[in-house]
Amino acid sequence: MPKRSNLVPVAALACLLLLPALLNGCASLPLDYPRPVSTALLLPEETRMGKRIQAHVVEHQGKSGFYLLPSGDDAFLARLLAVEQAERTLDLQYYIFNDDLTGKLLMDRLVSAAERGVRVRLLLDDWPQAGKMDWGLAMIQANPNIEVRVFNPFGGLRKVFFSRAFQAVFVAKRLRGRMHNKMFIADNCLAIVGGRNIGDEYFGARAELMFGDLDLMAIGPITRKISTAFDDYWNCVLSIPINALLKRQPTAAKTEGFRRFLAENRKSVQSSESAQKLKDGNLSKRLEAGYLPYVWAEGEVLYDDPLKVIRPDDSSREVLMGRKLKSIIDEAQSEVLAISAYFIPGKRGMLWFKQLRERGITVKVLTNSLASTDVPITEGGYARYRKALLGIGAELYELKPNPDQYRFWNRTSLGSSSRGALHAKTVIVDRKVVFVGSFNLDPRSARLNTEDGIVVRSAELGAQATQLFDRGISPSNAYRVAILGESPVSEEWHGLVWITEENGREVHYYQDPMTGIWRRLSVRFLSLLAPESTL
């Protein structure tokens, strides 16, 4: 075993040897690789799905139809059914596409759709997938009807986390911002937009973790606007074909073997408990009855320019999505309800919330607790603003991690060994304007990432979303954070108290509930190291 004194030079030498691999291709993109321009289906009303939807659009005077998907089961089933019904095109844009049960099943269905002639375009961000799914994505792209592109890819050792982090910090500023958008579009006449990525935890199929999330299914004229947003990203210079990132291409035998693997996975899923949950779900029953209660209203698509990731401070570009969303919230006359998985208002946000409160606007925010969050470092950024937010009269609620009675928006209770986490990004203004999308109320969404979402002006949809919010902040699901009290000799606050209900009794906690001292201290320390703009 080498002496400790010899380890430092050995480590330094290893870093020097790895540096060329880390830097190779970091700052440049393979822009010369063929990338044909393509666009959404021109005449969606000519498809069977389009004809059915168009009849409803005419009946509702050209408005679009909207349906909230709070249940993970229903959200996944909606995507599967959209794939099965598609005749001409399927366009998917996601930050994360996991190689798990739901990811493999959806990939299998996409390949099946391509085999019957449907054109499939799949656009993924490179941070979560970098290198890990390249081979599988390349094999499904062997089908001539499937094209996969990667947004803003890394170079060098793409599979290695530290390589990606090194590149983002020291090499290419363009790599710090990521494509956080989430879109699913079938035949340019049905779309699903919201907070969910593709993965078991987003659809209630992962035993140890379940995200409370929200999607919005849309049909009618607004779908064309959503497709326009997708096309802008698909044809962007930063969207690189997956084959351009591979050193070798899969053989026909490998591709056929992968196809058989996906088919076998599908067969095993069909007899599983998850499949039965889908069959028994609320959406499935409504579809069997031939009835889905869409809310017909006017909607607006919000999305960032894809080049925001490399030009975050370019004021000459289109107004950033965050500014547009802020202007809509500023229309509030009485109340703003916000659900944000990661909530860091920052100094500007604090000034904005203070202005809302000075106008008499009620502000309520539901976010993760330190015990429930899947990204603990963001809690350090949020925690430094809690007292100030409460001081101006905002109401704060933090999701519980895993109570036995946890039901939130999903029908299925979590077991005692499971953990619930909030992942939704929703804002409700005066209970009649609803935003559902990928945008968190934090600096990363505002300045670094690209985001998307839909704003719907409807009292009916507002009432539905408010009901979900009220369920989320109920004592069975959340802690209400309050100021413990003022000092008898000064105006300084003593601290915070987390108020909830357990076994029918009100319970108070005087530090972040259900967390140990190590988690609290480590989060506080790490949040001091990470710039707030990157959280």
> Is the CA virtual torsion 520, 525, 526, 527 positive or negative?
positive
Looking at the chain, the domain(s) classified CATH 3.30.870.10 span 43-288, 320-534
Concerning whether 180 is annotated as a catalytic residue, the answer is: yes
Concerning whether 425 is annotated as a catalytic residue, the answer is: yes
Q: How would you class 499 by CB atoms within 10 Å of its CB: exposed for 0-12, middle for 13-18, buried for 19 or more?
A: middle
How far apart CA 343 and CA 440 sit, in angstroms, is 7
Looking at residue 4, its pLDDT comes to 43
Concerning whether 225 is annotated as a catalytic residue, the answer is: no
Name beta bridge partners: 437: 453
- Three-state DSSP at 348 gives helix
DSSP class of 411: S
Tokens (6 digits) for 49: 């799905």
Distance of CA 186 to the CA centre of its chain: 19
Name beta bridge partners: 218: 66, 191
One of 304, 423, 442, 452 is an active-site residue; which one?
423
pTM: 0.90
Looking at residue 411, its pLDDT comes to 52
CA atoms within 13 A on the CB side of 469: 29
One of 63, 108, 134, 182 is an active-site residue; which one?
182
SS (H, E, C) 250-298: CCHHHHHHHHHHHHHHHHHHHCCHHHHHHHHCHHHHHHHCCCCCCEEEE
Looking at residue 114, its pLDDT comes to 96
Concerning whether 494 is annotated as a catalytic residue, the answer is: no
Beta strand 89-94 with 119-125 is parallel
Concerning whether 73 is annotated as a catalytic residue, the answer is: no
Looking at residue 155, its pLDDT comes to 77
How far apart CA 163 and CA 166 sit, in angstroms, is 5
One of 91, 187, 200, 304 is an active-site residue; which one?
187
One of 63, 104, 425, 432 is an active-site residue; which one?
425
- Across the chain, which has 535 residues, the per-10-residue mean pLDDT values are 46 44 57 92 95 94 96 92 95 95 93 96 90 85 95 80 75 84 98 97 85 96 98 96 88 88 83 69 71 94 93 63 94 98 95 97 97 89 93 96 56 55 97 98 93 98 97 94 66 76 91 87 75 72
Q: Which CATH superfamily is domain 43-288 in?
A: Endonuclease Chain A (3.30.870.10)
Query: How many helices and strands in the chain, by DSSP H and E?
Result: 18, 20
One of 180, 277, 308, 432 is an active-site residue; which one?
180
What CATH number is given for 320-534 in this structure?
Answer: 3.30.870.10
